[in-house]
Amino acid sequence: MSVYDYDVIVVGAGPAGTTAARYAAAGGAKVLVLEKDRDVGYPVRCGEAVSHEGVAQFIAPDPKWIASTVTKFRLVAPNGSSVLPKLDGGGYVLERRIFDYELAKLAANAGAEVITKAYVYDLLRENGTVTGVRALIKDQKRDIRAKIIIAADGVESRVGKWAGMDTTCHIRDMESCAQMTLSGIDVEEDVLDFYFGDNVSPGGYLWVFPKGKDTANVGLGLSVDQAKKKSAIRYLHEFVERKYPKAAMLTHIAGGVPCAKTNPEIVKGNVILVGDAAHQVNPVSGGGIISGMIGGMIGGQVAAEAVQSGDMKHLREYDKRWHKRLGWRHDIFYNIRNAIGGFDDRTYNNICDSALKLPVEKRTLGGIFRAALWNQPSMILDVAKVFVA
């Protein structure tokens, strides 16, 4: 009979990890979160955009972590023409270094413990079963025992691999990203800008997300297949030199986003994966904050239920609930991503033209997609499923 230090150990204190910890603790589990960095939420490797609807299901919007409230988005085609549709329901550009803290506080208030500067370097095993993690906590090696491990260790996830799940992201699905915070520039405070085309970010997009009137989160992601030829940081520097030559660069960051379908395995024995570690990212937009939190919430709830019942087989429920809630949509989005990845400059220009011909009230994301589909009839069914559902 083994003695456990915790019911649940969560590896990683990003949005997915702290949300998993919050719901597991709220469900009665004794929870520990281990984060390798010295600070939760920092450095920020993110465009920081979320929808109001997405974030409000977890936390009431608070000015202290909102850099800008956005109501519109602008799609800029390679030839410079643009269309400015409304953003249904609105959204925010976050101040993630504060937002992530608030999520960690919610976990702490639910009863979870959090330790930073705690690097998990292996799983602890006894008689072939995972019984905890091996960690380097402030340079001291420590083995900590737990019934369930939730791997929320982000794009660089290795915990899943140690548990026997293949979480390698194929290079065609990985977005190689560069991001900056630029200040001393003119931006429209309520508009998210997206730039497309071979010149800015082939197969991906470049974003300019406002953080107030004079500052923006600017970045881009391109599939590693494309980045092979020219790196993300080169594209970003070229764009910034053209567009904002006088800007002050407040941050300068690299990143990766796994824009794949959900990992084929997200539960194995008593180990489950949530967030980027499980590839729970919207494969079209690269947005993974809210979807990772949804994965974290379901994972945390199921883990607490398994602890209560003592039946670890119950963890398989997590896979089912995730796919029912969001996984099925991501599968469809993934097919759309593959179609969009093949768009050339002419296609983007045509999409923009056809969108401009739509009456203003029909210029929504769904309307633009439908208008664009004449070029890609095979996508019509897939897209219809997404926007009709």
Partner 1 sequence: MPQPHLMIHIVPGKCDYCGCCVGVCPEDAIELMESKIAIIEERCTNCRKCVWACPWEVIEFHKEGVAGMPVHTPQILNEPVEFK
Ligand X SMILES: Cc1cc2nc3c(=O)[nH]c(=O)nc-3n(C[C@H](O)[C@H](O)[C@H](O)COP(=O)(O)OP(=O)(O)OC[C@H]3O[C@@H](n4cnc5c(N)ncnc54)[C@H](O)[C@@H]3O)c2cc1C
Distance of CA 370 to the CA centre of its chain: 26
Q: Does 46 sit near ligand X (CB under 6 A)? A: yes
Q: Does 136 sit near partner 1 (CB under 8 A)? A: yes
Interface with partner 1 in residues 235-254 (CB under 8 A) = 253-254
Which amino acid is present at 340? Answer: I
Q: Does 45 sit near partner 1 (CB under 8 A)? A: yes
| Structure-block tokens of residue 205 | 């997009």
Tell the smallest beta-carbon distance from residue 223 to ligand X (Å): 13
| Residue 193 interface partner, choices ligand X, partner 1, none, CB cut-off 5-8 Å depending on type | none
Contact range with ligand X by CB under 6 A, out of 7-15, 336-344, 345-353, 356-364: 7-15
Q: What span, in angstroms and rounded, lies between the C-alpha atoms of 74 and 83? A: 6
Q: Does 36 sit near partner 1 (CB under 8 A)? A: yes
Tell the smallest beta-carbon distance from residue 180 to partner 1 (Å): 12
Interface with ligand X in residues 220-259 (CB under 6 A) = 255-257
Complex with ligand X: residue 35 or 305, whichever CB lies closer:
35
| Structure-block tokens of residue 171 | 């290079």
Contact range with ligand X by CB under 6 A, out of 34-42, 306-314, 355-363, 373-381: 34-42
Q: What span, in angstroms and rounded, lies between the C-alpha atoms of 142 and 45? A: 29
Residue from 91, 160, 197, 219 touching ligand X (CB under 6 A): that is: 219
CB-based contact 231:208 (threshold 8 Å): no
| Structure-block tokens of residue 95 | 């101040």
Q: What span, in angstroms and rounded, lies between the C-alpha atoms of 236 and 177? A: 9
Q: What span, in angstroms and rounded, lies between the C-alpha atoms of 222 and 206? A: 9
| Residue 79 interface partner, choices ligand X, partner 1, none, CB cut-off 5-8 Å depending on type | none
Instruction: Write out the E strands in the chain.
Output: 6-11, 31-34, 49-51, 66-76, 82-83, 86-94, 113-115, 118-126, 129-137, 140-151, 174-183, 191-195, 205-210, 215-223, 248-258, 267-268, 271-273
Complex with partner 1: residue 146 or 372, whichever CB lies closer:
146
Q: Does 45 sit near ligand X (CB under 6 A)? A: yes
CA dihedral 188, 238, 286, 361 (to 10 degrees): 40
| Residue 169 interface partner, choices partner 1, ligand X, none, CB cut-off 5-8 Å depending on type | partner 1
CB-based contact 286:48 (threshold 8 Å): no
Where along the sequence are the contacts to ligand X (CB under 6 A)? 11-17, 34-37, 45-50, 119-120, 152-156, 177, 179, 219, 255-257, 275-277, 281, 286-290, 292
Where along the sequence are the contacts to partner 1 (CB under 8 A)? 36-38, 45, 117, 119, 121-122, 134, 136, 154-158, 161-162, 168-171, 174, 176-178, 224, 227-228, 231-233, 253-256, 258
